[in-house]
Chains A and B, each alone.
Chain A
Amino acid sequence: MKVHVDRKLCDNHGQCAIAAPDVFRMNDDGVLEYDENITDDQVDEVEEAIDVCPVQAILLASD
Chain B
Amino acid sequence: MVNTTERRIVVVGASLGGLRAAEQLRAAGWDGEIEVIGDEPYAPYNRPPLSKELLANPGLSADEALAKVAFRRKKQTEDVTFRLGSAVVSSNLQERVLRLADGTQVTFDGLVIASGLRARRLTAPGPMGGRHVIRTLDDSLALHSELKPGTQVVVIGAGFIGCEAAATALELGCDVTLVEGGKGPMHRPLGSDVAEAFRRRLVRRGITCLADRHVEKFEACDTDSTRVGAVVLASGERLPTEVVIEAVGSVPNVEWLEGNDLNLTDGVLCDEWLRPVGTSNVVAVGDIARFPDLRLRQTPRRIEHWATPGDTAKTAARTLTADLAGASLPDPCDALPNFWSDQFGLRISGLGSPALADELAVMEGTLDDIDAGIAVGYWRDSVLVGVVVAGLPAQRLLQYRTQLTAAAV
Contacts and interface: CB of A to CB of B under 8 A. Distances in A.
Contacts of B347: 11, 13
B394 A30 contact: yes
B393 A28 contact: yes
A52 B48 CA distance: 13
A27 B23 CA distance: 31
Contact of B398 (A11, A26, A51, A56): A26
B406 to A, nearest CB: 15
A28 B395 contact: yes
Given A17-B394, A28-B393, A30-B393, A54 B401 contact: no
Interface residues of B, number: 21
Interface in A14-41: 14-15, 17-18, 26-31
A13 B340 contact: yes
Contacts of B397: 14
B306 interface: yes
Contact of A29 (B72, B393, B401): B393
Interface residues of A, number: 18
A13 B310 CA distance: 16
Which of B310, B340, B349, B393 neighbours the largest number of chain A CB atoms within 10 Å of its CB?
A: B393
A18 B401 contact: yes
A24 to B, nearest CB: 10
A26 B71 CA distance: 24
Contacts of B340: 13, 54
B194 interface: no
A18 B71 CA distance: 21
- Secondary structure type dominating chain A contacts: loop
Contacts of A56: 46, 71-72
Contacts of B401: 18
Interface string B64-82: 0000000110000000000
A12 B306 contact: no
B398 A14 contact: yes
A18 to B, nearest CB: 7
B20 A26 contact: no
B20 A51 contact: yes
A40 B33 CA distance: 28
Given A51-B310, A56-B71, A56-B72, A14 B48 contact: no
A26 B306 contact: no
A19 B136 CA distance: 28
B359 to A, nearest CB: 26
A55 B20 CA distance: 15
Contacts of B23: 51
A54 B306 contact: yes
B76 to A, nearest CB: 10
Contacts of B349: 13
B71 A30 contact: no
A30 B48 contact: no
Given A13-B340, A54-B340, A56-B71, A26 B395 contact: yes
A29 B395 CA distance: 8
B310 A30 contact: no
A55 B396 CA distance: 20
Interface string B25-56: 00000000000000000000010100000000
A30 B20 contact: no
Contact of A12 (B71, B307, B394): B394
A31 B72 CA distance: 24
B310 A27 contact: no
A50 B397 CA distance: 19
Contacts of B111: none
| Interchain residue pairs A-B with the least CB separation, the first 3 | A30-B393, A14-B394, A26-B395
19 contacts: A11-B347, A12-B394, A13-B347, A14-B398, A18-B398, A26-B393, A26-B395, A27-B395, A28-B393, A28-B395, A30-B395, A51-B20, A51-B23, A54-B48, A54-B306, A54-B340, A55-B46, A56-B71, A56-B72
Interface of A: 11-15, 17-18, 26-31, 51-52, 54-56
Given A13-B347, A30-B392, 17 more contacts: A12-B393, A12-B394, A13-B340, A13-B349, A14-B394, A14-B397, A14-B398, A17-B398, A18-B398, A26-B398, A28-B393, A29-B393, A30-B393, A51-B23, A54-B48, A54-B306, A56-B72
